[in-house]
Amino acid sequence: MRNIYFSFLGLGIRNKETMKYYYSPTTYELNGKLSPETEFVQVAEISLLDASPFDEVFITATQKSYDAHFKSLRDQLTSLISHISPIPIILEEDMTPEGQWKWFEKILSHIEPGDHLTIDLTHGYRSIPIVFSAAINFLQKARNISLNAVYYGVFERKEELGYAPIVDMKEFYLINEWADGVSRLVEDADARKMADVAGRSKDFQAAELNDEKVIKAFDDLTNTIRNVDVNNVASKANQAIQVIKEKKKNASETGKILFDLVIDKFITLTTDIPVSGKYDEAYFKVQIEIIKMLLKHKLFMQAYTVMREFVASIGMLPFEMKGISNKKRKKKRTEHAEVFVKMFQREEENWDFKNKAEICNQMMPFYRELEKAGVEAELRIFVKELAQYRNGFDHAWTSKAKAYEDIEEKGEHFFLSLQKLLSLLQKNQMLI
């Protein structure tokens, strides 16, 4: 892990008489301290910083800017940090997309994993600092670099202030991490990055997201989804969306955009009526949305778990129709619903429930209703195979030579079958 100072060297202004390029000497200010007068912002920064921890100093330049200024810059920097000799990185003056990519890759070759960077973007040949600035997000992920500072010398304010202030733009680069946090939240149902970024952001940066209630709502919802707590997803989604909508009323423009992304993503998991805790129509609709979300994000183990749960939950319908307490609901789900799933994995003449025969007999009236409605035939088409795939995940595929190669395609097939089942149940008015 190194502490690196990284800067860019441009041509500056051309003297029309001598045809040489130069930078005007000025005094710079950083953190309330003034530098000696110098034509190089890099010299000003090094003189105002504790430069002793720096392990390397890299100066990116074109051949022209190197020839014009590097020797003078090097001599001045070396007088301040004698233990380091600035290393030049010479880039070609190629503005094509291919050339820009070469710039980035050449710079990248000098940055090691875990480096701590202090960057100055004040000078540089045309768009080179812009390219590097855009690449910081890549470096944070691919090389796990840390930003100590991202400086810019505001030379234009010299006449107004008597010196040129150096501003640290590091906080703005959190926008990359905000984008990553939101992406993980809406694409992977993972709120951890969002919570981490919110905790490190200043109050002026989407402060409404750095709110304990918001973070807890995100965390509760995404944990519920990823842990396949299907009975509580709808209530957690309702709570999260309610908190978000309330916070959105007074949110910043950035906050509104981020909140809208979250609402659009998770609104399908909510219900218009309070969550009943029953195996009712709202419950089955939410299960369909959870399965769709999990399959989209390739969380196949969780998706297959919810799909099997969907089938088992159909076995709870006759008890919900008659009315059942929560205590008995849990017991019936453990015993009766599991027998119900197994009833579709073998032909009726091959059933052998042994000590579960009484439970099977209790399920038979409902089973016959499903036959008449065409639901039994649809279940029998795919439940056995669905159970095989789900069991493969449960046992880490140790009973197989390897995991099935069509898990994604089969997942979509089973999902469509479950959608068809839901339509049949609705058509035959078998849902409360």
pLDDT digit string (tens) for 157-183? 877 888 899 999 888 877 777 777 777
Place of tokens 């035939």: 377
Q: Which of 48-57, 320-329, 380-389, 393-402 has the lowest mean pLDDT?
A: 393-402
Q: What pLDDT score does 75 carry?
A: 93
Tokens of 98: 């291919």
**b/e string for 336-367 if b means 16 or more Cβ within 10 A?**
bbebbbbbbbeeeeeeeeeebeebbeebeebb
pLDDT for res 181: 79
Mean pLDDT of the 402-426 span: 93
Q: Give the model's pLDDT for residue 221.
A: 81
Report the interhelical angle of 97-108 vs 128-142 (nearest 10°): 50
pLDDT of res. 40: 93
- Closest C-alpha to 72, from 88, 83, 54: 88
- Reported as a pLDDT band with limits 50, 70 and 90, residue 274 is low
Q: How confident is the prediction for the chain on average, in pLDDT?
A: 87
Structure tokens at 282: 């709202």
Q: What is the mean pLDDT of residues 240-256?
A: 85
Helix 212-226 vs helix 281-296: crossing angle, to nearest 10: 90
- Percent of the chain past pLDDT 90, that is, above it, reads 43
pLDDT confidence tier of residue 37, bands split at 50, 70 and 90: very high
Helical packing angle, 407-427 and 375-394, nearest 10°: 150
Distances (CA, A) of 403 to 27, 119, 305, 387: 67, 48, 16, 14
Question: Binning pLDDT at 50, 70 and 90, where does residue 273 land?
Answer: low
pLDDT in tens, 47-72: 999 877 899 999 999 999 999 999 99
Distance CA 225, CA 149 (A): 38
- With CA atoms as reference, report the closest residue to 307 among 329, 292, 318: 292
What is the per-residue pLDDT for 306?
93
| 156 against 90, higher pLDDT | 90
Q: Note the pLDDT of residue 203.
A: 60
Beta strands in 292-408 (DSSP E): none
Q: What is residue 344's predicted lDDT score, i.e. its pLDDT?
A: 94
- The Cα–Cα gap between 150 and 6 comes to 9
CA distance to 47, 79, 156, 157, 160, per residue, from 26 (Å): 14, 18, 11, 11, 13
Cβ-based neighbour number of residue 83 at 10 Å: 9
Per-residue model confidence (pLDDT) at position 14 = 85
**Residue 134 near residue 166, CB atoms below 8 Å:** no
Please state, for a pLDDT cut of 70, what percent of the chain lies above it.
96
Residue 204 clears pLDDT 60, i.e. is over it:
no
pLDDT at residue 199 in the model: 67
Answer whether residue 345 shows pLDDT above 90: yes
Q: How far apart are CA 369 and CA 358, in angstroms?
A: 18
